[in-house]
Amino acid sequence: MRDWTWRQVVLGVVLLVLFVAVAALVPVLIQPDDSGPEAGSTPGTSSGIPAPSGVGVPTASPPTSTVSPVSPTPAPEKSTSDFQVRPAVKARPVGDPPRAVYQEFPSACALVRASSKAPVAGLSSPGAGEGAYDVFGSTRAKPAEPGQVPSGATSCLNPGDRSTYWVPQVLQGGRALEPESFQVLYKAAVSDYTSVQPFPAGLRVLAGGQAAAPSAADGSAVSWSCTGYDEPRLPVASTCQEGDRLIGRIAAPGCWDGRHLDVPGHRSHLAWAASGRCPGSHPVAVPTLLVRVAYPIDVTQEVRLSGLRGQDFGFGVVTGWQPKVLRDLVGDCINAGEHCGETGSPN
């Protein structure tokens, strides 16, 4: 073996140093990244490189929360009643407007038909039979469903009033008297007439009849009149004068609960105002309906009511105004403190 020259010795040392350096660097280069897989890589891969097929790569289970789950607040139970208005109608703020003598508009309608069945039952007296009824307004055989504006023609002078009105027939001498005129006066029943708002189509209203009772509200009682006579009872024979018309009047409440278009019995969703205000249970002020029916009579004969006992006169209505027509009338007549004629224009 020949002797190493100094050049060979130096070269050997350099090669040894390089070998040691490479041996120290390689483990660092091949060490896995502690930060985990890159964004977008699938679990079980490193730097987005999929694991070999058939090799299961365990994944860490998510930490178990120590916070008890919060039960969600249950949603309010929704009623399936066809007679409710959604959303509920809110009452208008009550103020102190200037005094107005009138806050009203009328609707006059011709007789459509006589019927042996009321559009909505509930006026006839118990034990007196169903009776017969005079029907005015909408010419439909059946009133529209609650909340719907009826289609078809109307016998009312205002074509926007497609409501169905009815009253018990007035009988005299074994025959029904045909009404000569039928008029409904829509009027404010509260002191703040600006707080009155239209009711939705399809509101069922019954007044009087089997549930007729004294009330503190002005105009709520039945009134019968002819020349020299104005009483809650029907006049006896020969009370009125020859040529008189017998006139019946009755009103419906003008405060609504704002939720129901109808209820069992067709009455408790409406209430009378007291001291010029609607009660908290029925806070929405709507027009009160004052019905006036005139009949030609034979003054020598007794008058009675079909299907009712005593003086239990009443009326019913399923409201059917076209919404814009009623809204304009309430705004231009009642809220404005005006008296409007049958055309809807202030007088």
**Is pLDDT at 79 greater than 90 in this prediction?**
no
In terms of Cα–Cα distance, which of 265, 263, 317, 323 is closest to 83? 263
pLDDT of residue 58: 38
Q: List residues bridging with 114 in a β-sheet.
A: 134
Question: In this predicted model, what pLDDT tens digit does every residue of 243-291 receive, in sequence order?
Answer: 999 999 999 999 999 999 988 877 889 999 999 999 999 999 999 999 9
Pairwise CA distance, residues 176 & 97, whole Å: 46
Q: Grade residue 47 by pLDDT with cuts at 50, 70 and 90.
A: very low
Is the backbone peptide bond immediately before 87 cis, with ω within 30 degrees of 0? yes
- Averaged over 331-341, what is the pLDDT? 95
pLDDT of residue 240: 93
Q: Tokens in use for 203?
A: 């509101």
Q: In what order do the strands lie in the sheet with 229-231?
A: 104-108, 181-187, 288-296, 245-251, 223-226, 229-231
3-state DSSP of the chain = CCCCCHHHHHHHHHHHHHHHHHHHHHHHHHCCCCCCCCCCCCCCCECCECCCCCCCCCCCCCCCCCCCCCCCCCCCCCCCCCCECCCCCCCCCCCCCCCCCCCEEEEEECEEEEECCCCCCCCCCCCCCCCCEEEEEECCCCCCCCCCCCCCCECECCCCECCEEEEECEEECCEECCCCEEEEEEECCCCCHHHCCCCCCCCEEEEEHHHCCCCCCCCCCCEEEECCEEECCCCCCCCCCCCCEEEEEEECCCEECCCECCCCCCCCCEECCECCECCCCCCEECCEEEEEEEEECCCCCCEEECCCCCCCCEEEEECCECHHHHHHHHHHHHCCCCEECCCCCEC
Residue 208: what pLDDT?
80
Amino acid found at 65: S
Residue 250 contacts residue 291 (beta carbons within 8 Å) = yes
Residue 100: what pLDDT? Answer: 94
Range in 70-84, 109-123, 158-172, 324-338 the model is least confident about: 70-84
Query: 84-134, pLDDT tens digit by residue?
Result: 898 899 999 999 999 999 999 999 999 999 998 888 877 765 555 567 899
Tens of pLDDT, residue by residue over 293-319, are 999 999 999 888 886 655 568 889 999
Least confident of 26-35, 190-199, 214-223, 303-312: 26-35
Q: How far apart are the first and last CA of the chain?
A: 139
Supply the pLDDT for residue 328: 96
Q: What is the pLDDT at residue 233?
A: 86
pLDDT at position 19, please?
66
| Per-residue model confidence (pLDDT) at position 94 | 94
With 50 as the cut, is the pLDDT of residue 56 above it? no
Quote the Cα angle for 29-31-32, to 5°.
Answer: 125
**Predicted local distance difference test score (pLDDT) of residue 66:** 43
Alpha-carbon span 256 to 284, nearest angstrom: 5
Hey, what are 304's tokens?
A: 């009675």
> Which of 30-39, 137-146, 238-247, 311-320 holds the top average pLDDT?
238-247
Least confident range from 61-70, 170-179, 237-246: namely 61-70
Residue 85 — left, alpha, or beta (φ > 0 → left; ψ -120 to 50 → alpha)?
Answer: beta
Kindly indicate the confidence band of residue 198, based on its pLDDT and cuts at 50, 70 and 90.
Answer: very high
pLDDT recorded at residue 43: 40
* Average confidence (pLDDT) over 191-205: 94
In angstroms, the Cα distances linking 142 to 116, 118, 135 are 13, 10, 11
Average pLDDT, the chain: 78
Confidence at residue 310, expressed as pLDDT on a 0 to 100 scale: 55
What mean pLDDT is predicted for residues 52-79? 41
* pLDDT value at residue 9: 63
Instruction: Give the pLDDT confidence score for residue 51 in this predicted structure.
Output: 37
Q: What pLDDT band is residue 216 in, cutting at 50, 70 and 90?
A: very low
Mean pLDDT of 182-209: 93
Q: CB 180: neighbour CB atoms within 10 A?
A: 14
Give mean pLDDT, residues 57-66: 42
At 148, the pLDDT band (50, 70, 90 cuts) reads: confident
In the prediction, which pLDDT does 163 show? 96
Calculate the CA 116 to chain-centre distance.
Answer: 30
Q: 122's torsion region: left (phi>0), alpha (psi -120 to 50) or beta?
A: left
